[in-house]
Structure formats: structure tokens, C-alpha cells
Amino acid sequence: MERKQIPVVERILSANDRVAADNRARLQGHGITTVNIMSSPGAGKTTLLLATIRALGGTCRIGVIEGDVASQVDADKIAQAGVPVVQINTGGGCHLDATMVQQALEALPLDEIQLLFIENVGNLICPAGFDLGQDYNVALLSVPEGHDKPYKYPGMFEFVDLVLATKTDLMPYMDFDLAEFRRLVQGLNPRAPVIPLSARTGEGMEAWLEWLRAAVKGK
């Protein structure tokens, strides 16, 4: 049997990227600003979203897509805050992909939403590889995780638009060097500002809300 080599050169995630482009067009068609939120498990994504909904809910119509390996717990909390929310359970998968978001969009009242948050599955590696159709990417890194994390997950920090150092109320108890953290993030990605905040005490929240307002207006 004759053997031959054929060149392919096709991006492995091309199928995902096509669906993501569809999502992006659809969201933009509805005038929605979409923010993809990523972090390790337990960095405080849901707490931050609840605080953000409380602070902005009166002036901006918010919607949420909740990604989780399993369970509906976070989505229930968001729903109680009075905003439309769809839960995606990945059934063990460690990130959301564009097709999951495409299905979630079917279940959201898109005409009633200005700002859509996608709370990605807790993981600092794979969410960076999968475009969902978002406008902005935000990474959370909580103070207890340590300031040296950017170099363990360069793919994540290198690609985001904003970095939030969360749980700053724990700073007095942790060996977290904020200046060093900023230096490492800036080295990977000078585009991304670093905002330290605590959703629990409200410290630094205003800077985050200001960034969001600009993101919504800037669309």
C-alpha cells in the first residue's frame, strides 16, 4: 500500500472556535458585554459575583452562566439575588467550551441582559484554551493561594484582560507580597491591571465596578 503524507495545519480547537465566533456574534447582536471569570476552586468567584450583583444590579441588567463540575448550589445563590442564571454542569469536565455556552444562551432572556458573566469551572489551566465568545477575560487569584502563582499558570495570566487579587482581608494572616504579585503579572502581561479587593469587606470593590462600567460602556 502506498504511503503518503498530507499537510493539514488545522487548529485542534477550530471546531470550538467556530462555535465561539457564533456566540460572540449573537451576544454582540443583543448588545451584551460578556465577561469570562476564571480562577482556582474556592478563590471566591461566586462571592464576588453576588457582591457585584448587589452593587450594580440597580443600574445594570446582569445575567450569569454558572459553570460547575456538578451541583446547582452556586446557581441557586445567584438566582436568589434576582438575576437570570443558567447552570452548566460539565459532568467532570474541567472547563466550559463554546458549545456548552451556546446551549446556555438558549435558556437566557438575552434581550433583558446588558452584562453577562460566565463563571468558568474552577481551574487555572484549561479555561484559557477554550474561547467561549466572551469580550473580556478576568482571572481571580486569592491571597491564600500565594503571590507566586502566575508563573505556575503563565497561559492563564498571559491571556487575561484583568487580574483580581481576592480575599485581601486575609492579607495580614498570609505571606502574600502584593508588589511581587503585580511584578509577576506585569511581566507576563503588561495589558492587565491588577486590582486587589475583598468582596467580604468591600475593600477595592469600587475599582472593579469602575472597570466593569467602562467595559459595558466601551462596547
Q: Please, is 169 exposed, middle or buried when counting C-beta atoms within 10 Å of its C-beta (0-12, 13-18, 19+)?
A: middle
- How far apart CA 162 and CA 137 sit, in angstroms, is 7
Q: Please, is 13 exposed, middle or buried when counting C-beta atoms within 10 Å of its C-beta (0-12, 13-18, 19+)?
A: middle
Least Å distance, CB 201 to other proteins, is 31
Least Å distance, CB 46 to other proteins, is 22
Binding of other proteins at residue 186 (CB under 8 A)?
A: yes
Binding of other proteins at residue 178 (CB under 8 A)?
A: no
For other proteins, which residue of 154, 170, 200, 219 counts as binding (CB under 8 A)?
Answer: 154
Binding of other proteins at residue 189 (CB under 8 A)?
A: yes
Binding of other proteins at residue 98 (CB under 8 A)?
A: no
CA of residue 183 relative to chain centroid, distance:
22
- How far apart CA 73 and CA 75 sit, in angstroms, is 6
Scanning residues 13 to 72, which ones bind other proteins (CB under 8 A)?
13-16
Which range touches other proteins (CB under 8 A), out of 3-11, 19-27, 132-140, 205-213?
Answer: 3-11
Cα end-to-end distance, the chain, whole Å: 57
Least Å distance, CB 11 to other proteins, is 5
3-state secondary structure of 35: strand
Write out the H or E segment, with its range, that includes residue 63. Answer: strand 62-68
Q: Which three cell numbers stand for residue 65?
A: 452562566
For other proteins, which residue of 94, 110, 178, 209 counts as binding (CB under 8 A)?
Answer: 94
For other proteins, which residue of 41, 187, 201, 202 counts as binding (CB under 8 A)?
Answer: 187
- For other proteins, the binding residues (CB under 8 A) are 1-16, 92-95, 97, 125-126, 128-130, 148, 151-152, 154-155, 158, 183-184, 186-190
